[in-house]
Structures are given as structure tokens and as C-alpha cells.
Amino acid sequence: MADPLTLFTSIGLSEQKAKETLKNDALCSALKDAIAQAQRVLGVAGVDKATGTLLYTMASRLRDPKRLGFLTDHIAQRKICTELQLAAALEFVKSHPQDPINQQEFESLCGVGVVITPEQIEDKVEKVIKKHKDQLLQERYRFNMGLLMGEARGGLMWADGKMIKNEVDMQVLHLLGPKTEADLEKKPKAQKAKAPDGEVKVKEELTMNGELKIEGRTLMDELRGVALNFHKPGENYKTEGYVVTPKTMDLLKQHLEFTGGQIRTRFPPEPNGILHIGHAKAINFNFGYAKANDGICYLRYDDTNPEKEEEKYFTAIKDMVEWLGYKPYEITHASDNFQRLYDLAVDLIRRGHAYVCHQRGEELKGHNPPPSPWRERPAEESLVLFDRMRRGLFAEGEATLRMKIVMEDGKMDPVAYRIKYTAHHRTGDAWCIYPTYDYTHCLCDSIENITHSLCTKEFQARRSSYFWLCNALDVYCPVQWEYGRLNLTYTVVSKRKIIKLVEEGTVRDWDDPRLFTLTALRRRGFPSEAINNFCAKVGVTVAQATMEPHMLESCVRDVLNDHAPRAMAVLEPLKVTITNLPEGIRNDVRVPDFPANEFMGSHVVPFTRTIFIEQSDFREVMEKGYKRLTPDQPVGLRHAGYVISVQKVIKDAQGRVVELEVHCCSSHEAAEKPKAFIHWVSEPQKCEIRLYERLFLHKNPEDPSEVPGGFLSDINPNSLQVIDSALVDISVSKAKVFDKFQFERVGYFALDPDSTADKLVFNRTVTLKEDPGKM
């Protein structure tokens, strides 16, 4: 046989494609075997390019090597001679992993022996054109030609697609004639469709990854549409990379009998920290996919590391899941299965797939740790040693149980069990050995009959060990699917780094409103709907998404604009005395909660001789473009129906303006309409206002090239401003913690848990409009 490069180019591959193939050992070997067999079938030394192209496609897409000869025979004998037939053949062998293959069923489903003549194509297209003739004549070239193609192909399944397209183009041209200028004009936009209640509509826009989100498609639509090409329950074996064993089909049958074909997902956080904005996408994805497809989703705590787990984290995680609007089907724990996991580990040793190792932790670090000298230790010896580990007869780090597998990232023999003399939150001192994520996760998925194990992209390197371990123990094997992680700029979400920020006193705790933990966002006043809407905008994508905070803040404004009632607050008060109102007068002014829709309610605030306005709403010297109050320029008072004019400016010993004396008149009596209407308060309640800015100065505070001194050196000194002498109208006096308001002309605010009966504390959630300087 010729050298591989020459061989591959001889069957029609370009030199570049042939060189790429040579770099892939598995593909190279499969293609050489296929060519050799095809030559034997044909009885010639060469293979024509049409056959060679099909052989390459087959070798590159075939996941079950034992079917290579079977498909090669059909290609060489010209029984499979189109890409369409080959695609059907590959799908058939993937969905029929067990022997023997039903030859008659295979050939029927792959169109073997079916010949479609040009005359048949012409007749079929003619019938389709005739069916849609009136609409074609009306819409001309704006008509969806794909519809014609689809209907024509429907009756000619194994026809050459190019031949059908050419025939459609020719007959349409014959009917309509050449395109005119009118045909080339853009099609008018269709009317926007409303999303069903409770579902988040995704607008047409480019995400940070350049992916297009289509108007009218909701997150639930995407999840129902299995955007990542998920398998159906029980059809796990159709997933790329899934390993089929002699017991797979029986185990899947048992799985289907137990679940009834229901979709089952799980959200499996570690209870060693607070959930952050990235987890919000995971929650929406796991719970949302189950909800969209009438399935169930577990909240499963991955509690296998007792050193870092605390009760407050278990509680906070559950609270955040429910805050985002999801109710777990059941709350479970990895620790529920500690005994079963231990028994399975014993079975794994007996099968020769695991061994007790004495290499220290430092020896196992890095990408190329030395192979364990205990890898071939007899199973009987490992069983004895594993039992001694269980009974606490080794020191921490003196022994581990390792699995005999090499993972995608080159990590060899990952640890399954390690020794930790730490009491567990739930099981106390019952165990001194604890399973690792690599061992626990897939087995808990199997035990709970999970259909789709959804995880972020960094776990892709664990997929092979996931499949391997389930198959090594002959238990039901779910499918792990990876999706893109959601990240935000100008923040850190690492638990270790957040703890460092707390320890350094940079932030108060995990729920400090400058962080992007979910508890912090709730405390700041972000509505859960806005976070879910943001996740919907990011969409179901395999690519990692790194978004700007202002995109999340935009979602927040959209929700609060519709749901946060209006109130008036003055952050830097300036006293105003209305001299032409008598002492003791008190009028009630009705203020709409939502000015755009007065039917949504209102509240009453007092209007007296003394009011307070913002200091910035008065200037002693008139400046060009300034439209608010000056000695020469009156201003209107929002909702009150009055216009005030300055009579006297009162200053303190330092020359600062401390009070204004003004005259008021009805806005109907004013000589001219004022250029602006400002907000005010009267008989107000004193409160504390906390204004937040970004915690970090740079977009990527963890990037050494951007912040050489590390993230702690990048703290924004102006990330928090506290105003302790602000005034707010009495309509908010009975607000509850986390209640949200729009303080007119100031921003959106939420009541903080630090509030007391004597002093309300408000966090600014977001400004009314995006600051164009924040890029």
C-alpha cells in the first residue's frame, strides 16, 4: 500500500485534509482499513473519488468501529452512494448497537437500491409549484423557496438535493421570469409576537459572543427545542461519545421502566459557598429544561468535602433556587448515598478497575505526575487496604483509592476516595473517607436516574471518566452535556477570592451588594425576574459568555420600570420655606404609583409650608442650559401643581446656601410654563442611602496582564458612598425588607435588611438610565 499521504490524496482528499487526517491516529487507522477493504471488494488497487469521499465521511463520523467493515462493503458495492444515504446508515448503526443487524430493515431505511430519475424530480417539482402557484405569483421571490424544496424532497427522499434545487430554480424562473427591482427590496418586518405568560422573550440582538438571538423565541422555546441536540430519554446511546456495552440496552430498558420516559435533571452545587450569577444560568438551565419538557429536577447538594461545608450555605442555596422561581422535585445529598458509593467502590476494586495508592498529594500535582508504583497491586490487597482506610487505620494523605483511567486532559488515575478526619455536617463521625467529585457525581446521577446531566464546559474533560465509571460498574449511565459558562466583567466569583475580600474588610460579607453573588444581588434589589431574563438573553449556548454588567442592569431596569412604585426622596436636602402659605397648613397631594398607568394605584404625601428639594436643583448663578431653580428662574413641583420662585437666599457663616424662601402659585396661574419640574418632600422620614459603583476598576481584575498587582490591588475606592441624612416621603414608611421603589429622578432603590423602625436604609439598585461613561 502507498504511503498514507499519497493514499489519502488518491481518494480525493486535499493535501491539507490528508495531513490533518494523519494527525488523528484513530481516524487515520480507520480510513486506511476502510480503503483496504474497499479495494478487496472492488478487486482493484484504487478507489474512485466519489467512493473515497464517502469512506472518509464514514470513517470520521462512525463511533462504533465494529461497523466499519459492514458500512464499507455497502459503499464499495454502490449500495450506499450518496451523503444522504450514508447519514441514514450512520444513524441506523448508532441506534442499533446490538448484533445482528437486520439487513432488510437497514437497506429499507437507507434507501439501498432506490433510483430517482430526473423525470421523477421534474414531475414532483411541477406538482409542488402548481400547488403554491397563486401564492408564488403574489409574493414572487419573497416566497419561502425552502418550502418548495422541502415538499419536493418529501416525495423523493433519496434524490440528489442539488438536482432538486436546480429543478426548483428553473421552474420558478419559468413561472415568474427574472427578478425585478421590487423583488430585491427588503421584506417588511413581521409583527412582533407576544410570549406566553411567565416566559421570557428574547429580543433579536447580538450577544457578547456574536450569537444571534431571534425575536419571539423564549428561553423555554429554546429549552423545548433542545437547542444542544439533546437525546430523548432512553436513547442515551445515540449521543456522540457514549460507550455502549453488552448491558447498556438492558440498563436503559430498566431506566425507562422506572422513569416512564420522563426527563430528569439535577442542580448539584457544593454547599461551601454562596451561589453567584453564573449559577443563575445553571439553575435556569437545569430547572428550566425539566420544566419546559414536563420533567423533574432535583436540588442535590454535592456534600463530599466536610471541611468546607456549613449549614448557612445549604440554607442559602435552597433560598436562592426558590427565589429564582423554581421548586425542586426533591432535595437530596450526595451523602445520602455514602454507603452505596462505598459498596460500589469495593465492587470496582474487585473488578480490577481501582487500587489503593500511597503517593502523596504533592506527587500527584501537575500535568504529568509519575505513574503510581501501586497501579498493578492485586485486587485482594487493595480490598484489605481500602477497608483499613474505612476503619481509620491510615493517616490523612497516607492512602487514596484511585481509578484506572486516563482522562481527556491527560490526568491519569483520578482519586476516588481520600481520608479526612473531619466530622460531616450530616453523617457526623460515621465516615473518615470521602468520595471525590470524579467518583461521586456520575454515580449519584445514575442512582437518581438522571436523563441529562447538564454541567458547564470545564467539566468536558471529565466526560470520559463519567461514562467509564458507570460502565465499569455495569450501572445505568446517564449522558453528560456541557454548556457555556456565564461570566461577568468587573467582578470575581471565586469562593476563595470572595472570602479574601471579606477577610480583608473590602466587603462586609457574601451578600455585600457590590458582589455578584445571588444573595448580594437580591440585597441590592435586583428582581429575580430580571436575572432570569438576563439568562434568557444569554441563551442556550455551548460557547462561554462573558457579559458586561450594564447588560444585566438593563434587564433590571426593564422589570423595575414596570413593577417598582414611585416615591420621592431627596439625597442632599435643601430647606425651602414657602412664605405665602400660612403656618400649620397641610394639604394632601396624591402621587400615582405608576405615572404611565394611574389605574395601578397611588399614595398620598403631605404638602406644607416647609419642603425640601435637592441641593443640585438650585443654583445661585444662572448658567446656560440650566433649567431648574435660580433667583431668576421659577421651577415646577412634581405632582403638587405649584410653581415656586425664589425671594430670598439664606446662607450660613461659611457662605453656604442653607435655606430658600420662595413664593408659590398654581401652575395654572404662572406667567409661563416652567422649564422643569423637580421632586420634593415634606414632613419626610430621615433615611440612610447607600450608593454603589463597581467594586473593581478594571474589566478583568483577575488578569495579571491587566492588573499586575492582583485583584486586591484593583479595588475601586469609590465603590460605596453612604448618605446618612437623606429624606424620603412617608409613603415608604411601612416598606418591608427588599421592597423596591423608583425614587423619582434619582434611581431605583430597595430596602436593606439593616433597616430599623427608627431608620430606614436603602440600597441603590441601579440608576434610572445607563451611564454612558461605563464602558
- pLDDT tens digit sequence for 177-196: 887 767 766 555 444 444 55
Q: What is the pLDDT of residue 500?
A: 93
- The confidence score (pLDDT) of residue 209 equals 35
Can you tell me the distance from the alpha carbon of 661 to that of 350, in angstroms, rounded to the nearest whole number?
Answer: 92
The torsion angle over the Cα atoms of residues 276, 282, 288 and 290, rounded to 10 degrees, is -140
1-10, 126-135, 226-235: the lowest-pLDDT one = 226-235
Inform me whether the pLDDT recorded for 597 exceeds 90: no
The H or E element containing residue 263 is none
The catalytic site residues sit at 270, 485, 495
The predicted model gives 520-540 an average pLDDT of 91
Residues contacting 196, CB < 8 A, separation 6+ = 218
Q: What angle do CA 223, 225, 227 make, to 5 degrees?
A: 75
State the sign of the Cα–Cα–Cα–Cα dihedral 449, 451, 456, 462: positive
Q: How long a stretch of residues is the chain?
A: 775
For 649-677, write each residue's pLDDT tens digit. 999 999 999 999 999 998 877 778 888 99
Percentage, residues of the chain above pLDDT 70: 92
Write down the H helix ranges in 225-276.
248-259
- Which pLDDT score is estimated for 669? 78
Position 220 scores a pLDDT of: 62
- Say which residue the cell 470572595 belongs to: 498
Quote the pLDDT of residue 351.
97
- The one-letter amino acid code at 685 reads Q
Average pLDDT of span 127-155: 85
Cβ neighbours of residue 119 closer than 8 Å, sequence gap 6 or more: none
pLDDT of residue 378: 96
What pLDDT does residue 744 have? 95
Residue 61 has pLDDT above 90, yes or no: no
| DSSP designation for 261 | T
pLDDT attached to residue 211: 34
pTM over 0.85? The answer is no
Q: What is the pLDDT of residues 263-273, one digit of tens each?
A: 999 999 999 88
For residue 198, pLDDT beyond 70: no
**Confidence check: pLDDT of 70 > 70:** yes
Q: Which three cell numbers stand for residue 75?
A: 459503499
Higher-confidence residue: 99 or 473? 473
> 555: closest CA among 292, 752, 318, 748?
748
Question: What pLDDT sits at residue 222?
Answer: 62
Which band of pLDDT confidence, cut at 50, 70 and 90, is reported for residue 228?
Answer: low
Round to whole Å and give the CA distance between 589 and 603.
8
pLDDT of residue 109: 86
Using alpha carbons, list the distances in angstroms from residue 539 to 33, 275, 459.
42, 20, 19
Cα separation, 142 vs 397, whole angstroms: 71
- How far separated are the first and last CA of the chain, in Å rounded? 61
* Domain 4-110 fold: Helicase, Ruva Protein; domain 3 (1.10.8)
pLDDT, one tens digit per residue, over 309-334 is 888 899 999 999 999 999 999 999 99
Q: Mean pLDDT over all residues of the chain?
A: 88
> Is a pLDDT exceeding 50 seen at residue 617?
yes
Q: Give which of 393, 431, 430, 399 is closest to 416, Cα–Cα.
A: 399
Structure confidence at residue 190 (pLDDT): 46
Backbone angles phi, psi at 589, to 5 degrees: -115, 125
Q: For residues 171-177, give the mean pLDDT.
A: 87
**Residue 649 is placed in which grid cell?**
437666599
Distance CA(463)–CA(460), nearest Å, equals: 5
pLDDT the model gives residue 210: 32
Grid cell, residue 542, equals: 455551548
Query: Contact, 481 vs 454, CB < 8 A?
Result: yes
Q: Give the mean pLDDT of 486-501.
A: 92
Beta strands of 153-272 (E only): which ranges?
201-202, 205-206, 212-213, 217-218, 264-267
CATH 1.10.274.10 for the 567-684 domain, yes or no: no
Least confident of 137-146, 674-683, 724-733: 137-146
The two counts, helices (H) then strands (E), for the chain are 24, 30
**Cβ contacts of residue 28 below 8 Å, gap of 6+?**
4, 21, 22
**Helix orientation angle between 25-42 and 15-23, rounded to the nearest 10 degrees:** 120
Mean pLDDT of 137-150: 84
How high is the pLDDT of residue 84? 80
**Residues 73-96 pLDDT 10s:** 999 998 998 888 888 888 888 878
What is the grid cell recorded at 728? 424620603
CA distance linking residue 164 with residue 151, whole number of Å: 11
User: Of 547, 528, 305, which is closest to residue 420 (Cα–Cα)?
Assistant: 305
Which of 427, 253, 262, 256 has the alpha carbon at shortest distance from 341?
A: 427
| Same topology between domain 4-110 and domain 567-684 | no
2-6, 7-11, 105-109, 691-695 — which is least confidently predicted?
Answer: 2-6
Confidence (pLDDT) at 565: 96
Separation between Cα atoms, residue 498 and residue 490, nearest integer Å: 14
What are the percentages of helix, strand and coil residues in the chain, rounded to 5?
Answer: 40, 20, 40
Decide if 357 contacts 372 (C-beta within 8 A).
yes
Contact indicator for 59, 27 with CB cutoff of 8 Å:
yes
pLDDT (average), residues 243-258: 94
Distance CA 32, CA 700 (A): 48
Rounded to an integer, what distance in angstroms lies between the CA atom of residue 754 and that of residue 34?
72
Going by C-alpha positions, the residue among 648, 679, 476 that lies closest to residue 578 is 648
Class of domain 335-365+373-454: alpha beta
Other beta carbons within 10 Å of 391: 10
- Per-residue pLDDT band at 436 (split at 50, 70, 90): very high
Ordered by start, the domain boundaries in the chain are 4-110, 335-365+373-454, 567-684
pLDDT of residue 214: 36
Region 282-292: what's the mean pLDDT? 91
